[in-house]
Structure 1
Amino acid sequence: ENEDAKINETIKKFRIPLDSNHFLLRVLNEGSAVLVSPDNKELWDETADIRETLGSPFFAVVPLRTLEKPQGVIIVDNLVTKKPITESDLELLRAVANHASFAIERSKLTEELQKSYQELEKAYAELRENQEKLVLAEKLSAVGTIAAQIAHEIRNPIVAIGGFARAILRDYDLDENLREKLEIILEETQKIERTIQDALDFSKFSEPEKSLCEIGKTIQDVIIFFEPEIAEKKITVTYEIADDIPKFEYDEQLIRQVLINLFRNSISVLGEGGKIGIKAYKEGEYCWIEFSDNGPGIPEGVGDKIFQPFFTTKPTGTGLGLSISAQIIEAHKGEIWYKNNPVGGVTFYIRLPLKSDEKKGDNK
């Protein structure tokens, strides 16, 4: 280690202007190895500063050159061995220099190849992302085009069919076989109604119409809305609303839609005896909502794709529910994300600002 330190200190002493006619620069540019000894009076005098720096009267210099340009020099002396540097030593030094130059060249080529590969990978990723965006844009355009047609041509008859099925189930004493068939009709019409509503919500999304609302009441209203399905599947729903959450401005209808989408997703994957938990609390300048269930959770590797339009992990559904939810939360200057629970299930986190940045009369 001491020898290495001495060598490093010696190297630091060499400070040669690149535009000078210094001996080492000439060796580098001319490309020939040189042995310095008292026998060559001219070189001996010219290299006095080098000998003084090295502390040795004998030394040899071999240039390091690649195909592109000179890279440096190798300097050897006999300070330790005190043996004379011979022509055979110089030849060996040339061989070492050639190998070192080749290694430098190969290293640079490898570095350039790696850089080119990374740039190619980046370009490919951007191309793939742009292609996905183009496909998505085409899908969104298609949704917008057919949404109005769906509303008029399909929605009204489906609502009528579902209404009649509910009425018959409620008002008539039916045998078990016929009741089961009507329940299937009702269930399927509800699926179609939800699909139509998702498409309409996504295609007709507008900026939130905020008013002063109470988040606890919004959550309780959504729980009441799902009471029949909760009771049917014997799902346990618990909720905790912190007392210190003030009323704040948000679009109640849209935030209710977010919670409805989360409830639908949970209920669809929970079996009998499943659990849903909701917490709302104030932290800093934000209202936090945590929505948890003990279902199967989100598959690994899905990441933020779950909030992309038309992406779904379920065999049925439009893949628009969470995309709409993310769109709504973003429009409120908030955030939504999820984490799978260590003991199973998933928790969605929603963060909404308690103070709106918008001023009354501001049409931005």
Structure 2
Amino acid sequence: MFVIIIVVAAPIAGMIYSALFAPGIDSMLIEEKQQKLIQIGQRMDESIDDETAAAIKKTVMTRSPSDIDSLQLQLHDRMLKLSYQYRGVDIGYSVPTIEQTFSLLPPRWPYDRKLENGIAEAINSKGPYSQYFMDHMGGLLLHVRPVVRQNDIIALAWAREMIPPQYAQSRNVRRTIFVITMLGLLGGIIGTIIIIRNMVNSANIIKNGLVGIQKDFTYRLPSVSGEMGEIAQAINSMAEALEEKAKLEEQLQRSERLAALGQLVAGIAHEMRNPMAIVKATVQLMQKQYKDSSEMQQYLDVIKEQVDRQDKIVKELLDFSRPSKSLWEDISLVELLKSVITFTRPYMDQYHIELSEKYQIDLPLIIADGERLKQVFVNIIINAVQSMPKGGQLMISVYSDEQNVYASFADTGSGIADEDIENIFNPFYTTKYSGTGLGLAISHNIIAMHGGTIAVTRSKDGGSIFTVSIPIRRDDDAASNIDNR
């Protein structure tokens, strides 16, 4: 065992040492080379005597080719002497004001862009600038030193040295070996920890999921891998069954409440209708009797207006409690909607509503009561227009799938609050100041009699989207129930 530990630990220790201490050694070598470039820059600065400085200033003033050639010969002699002492280092002078660079090497040397940036940094900082970087070609050490005479930068002396690619490759190999070795050692420990953690997490997910389902049947467990996933899938199936049962119970309770409410409403509406009819007949008689009195006619008009309003409410109550007998026939939902749009268009124009229509081609026919569906669509369109008192857009779309035909009404109005969406189809629930709260409740009942659904959602723009779905074939049981009412 001791031998195994030594055999395994020795190379690991060597790699750790290489990974930890080799970068320090590399940094020392780079620092040594950088100091050499700084020293070269100082010597290049010192080699610019008064005569050469004067030649540089003259060349800057004249910019003549002969002066540039003469300056190049003077600087070439100084660079040549230094190049013998520092082999492998590229040195040169740059005079930015005349855009001239003098070097022993030809143009387009690698990293010329780095040299240009270094010269710009030295000019901006008015002091020496050093840079070191690595890439796939190896790297570069650069030092730029301004040549200052009489507080003016007349030139810039620079020295640069390329770092061979083997240097970067060696460093990358060391790092790769270190990383692979450490990953190999830690892989087993990490793998074990992950397996245990996944098992614990899966158990916690199932436990929390059961608590969530206990509170809300619509909650579902997220997908879990392995055998735990099969358990989670079985629990989700159980939750779906419980959710369906809860929905059926809620629908049954709603139907019972609506039936009881319908009986109560019918009785109240009947008791209100007779006195209102007497009041209306009396008003009509008084209008004839006092037709010469304008003041009396004004009062009678007010009474008649309120009587008509109450009569309309009573009619809505009776429609809600005792829907009229339905007339079922084959209907094209597109043609029915176009007829509704025809007589609601003036109302939309009055509020400056921009209408868009989009109809699917070759829609199947539905078996429905056209007049009752018109009542639903008129109610939805009026609600949409009233939500856009300053104008807006209304998009009506009709499309289908294999089972249903859909009519969608999307407006750009003020939208419906989330808390109102849950109750908006309940009788007598309204967000309007003068509404009765029966329009959408009646619409909901009509669509339910057709075996369909009506739903409302908020659009991304903040408006409302009402979607009505009607089965392509009417449910026979629902039809018989309607005909018997």
Q: Distance in 1 between matches of 2:303 and 2:348?
A: 20
TM-score of the two chains, using structure 1 as the length reference: 0.52
TM-score of the two chains, using structure 2 as the length reference: 0.40
Q: 1:271 aligns with which of 364, 389, 392?
A: 389
Residue 126 of structure 2: aligned partner: none
Q: Distance in 2 between matches of 1:297 and 1:268?
A: 11
Residues 171-320 of structure 1 aligned to structure 2 (within 5 Å): 192=310, 194-205=312-323, 208-320=326-438
Gaps of 5+ in 2: 1-187, 193-210, 216-249, 285-298
Give the count of matched residue pairs. 240
The residue matched to 2:476 in structure 1 has which SS? Answer: coil
Cα 1:343–1:151 change in 2 (3 A) is same
Corresponding position: 1:336 with 2:458: no
Residue 470 of structure 2: aligned partner: 352
Residue 256 of structure 1: how far off its partner (Å):
0.9
Q: Which amino acid aligns with 1:226?
A: T
Q: Distance in 1 between matches of 2:417 and 2:328?
A: 35
Q: Which amino acid aligns with 2:397?
A: K
The residue matched to 2:423 in structure 1 has which SS? Answer: helix
Cα 1:362–1:327 change in 2 (3 A) is closer
Residue 235 of structure 1: how far off its partner (Å):
2.2
Give CA-to-partner distance per residue, 1:147-195, whole Å, 9 cap, x none: 2344454379779999xxxxxxxxxxxxxxxxxx999999877754543
Q: Pick the structure with more helix per residue.
A: 2
Residue 106 of structure 2: aligned partner: none
Residue 268 of structure 2: aligned partner: 146
Kept in 2: contact 1:207–1:331 (CA 8 A): no
Q: Distance in 1 between matches of 2:422 and 2:327?
A: 27
Kept in 2: contact 1:329–1:335 (CA 8 A): yes
Q: Distance in 1 between matches of 2:467 and 2:253?
A: 30
Q: Distance in 1 between matches of 2:413 and 2:334?
A: 24
Q: Distance in 2 between matches of 1:277 and 1:290?
A: 8
Q: Distance in 2 between matches of 1:188 and 1:235?
A: 30
Q: Distance in 1 between matches of 2:265 and 2:351?
A: 33
Give CA-to-partner distance per residue, 1:21-48, whole Å, 9 cap, x none: xxxxxxxxxxxxxxxxxxxxxxxxxxxx
The residue matched to 1:305 in structure 2 has which SS? Answer: coil
Residue 237 of structure 1: how far off its partner (Å):
2.6
Kept in 2: contact 1:158–1:192 (CA 8 A): no
Residue 272 of structure 1: how far off its partner (Å):
3.1
Residue 335 of structure 1: how far off its partner (Å):
1.0
Residue 441 of structure 2: aligned partner: 323
Cα 1:294–1:215 change in 2 (3 A) is same
Give CA-to-partner distance per residue, 1:113-152, whole Å, 9 cap, x none: x9xx98xxxxxxxxxx999999877654331112234445
Kept in 2: contact 1:235–1:273 (CA 8 A): yes
Kept in 1: contact 2:410–2:464 (CA 8 A): yes
Q: Distance in 1 between matches of 2:253 and 2:400?
A: 41
Kept in 2: contact 1:289–1:349 (CA 8 A): yes
Residue 325 of structure 1: how far off its partner (Å):
0.9
Cα 1:141–1:225 change in 2 (3 A) is same
Residues 11-30 of structure 1 aligned to structure 2 (within 5 Å): none
Residue 174 of structure 1: aligned partner: none
Deviates more, 1:343-352 or 1:271-280: 271-280
Cα 1:185–1:222 change in 2 (3 A) is farther
Kept in 2: contact 1:147–1:203 (CA 8 A): no
Kept in 2: contact 1:298–1:346 (CA 8 A): yes
Deviates more, 1:240-249 or 1:184-193: 184-193
Q: CA RMSD in A?
A: 4.8
- Structure having greater relative contact order (Cα 8 Å, sep ≥ 6): 1
Residue 339 of structure 1: how far off its partner (Å):
0.7
Give CA-to-partner distance per residue, 1:321-357, whole Å, 9 cap, x none: 1111111111111111111111121000111111123
Kept in 2: contact 1:239–1:278 (CA 8 A): yes
Cα 1:209–1:236 change in 2 (3 A) is same
Q: Distance in 2 between matches of 1:255 and 1:332?
A: 9
Residue 63 of structure 1: aligned partner: none
Q: Distance in 2 between matches of 1:159 and 1:235?
A: 40
The residue matched to 2:410 in structure 1 has which SS? Answer: strand
Give CA-to-partner distance per residue, 1:210-264, whole Å, 9 cap, x none: 1111212221222233233223222223322322113221011111111121122
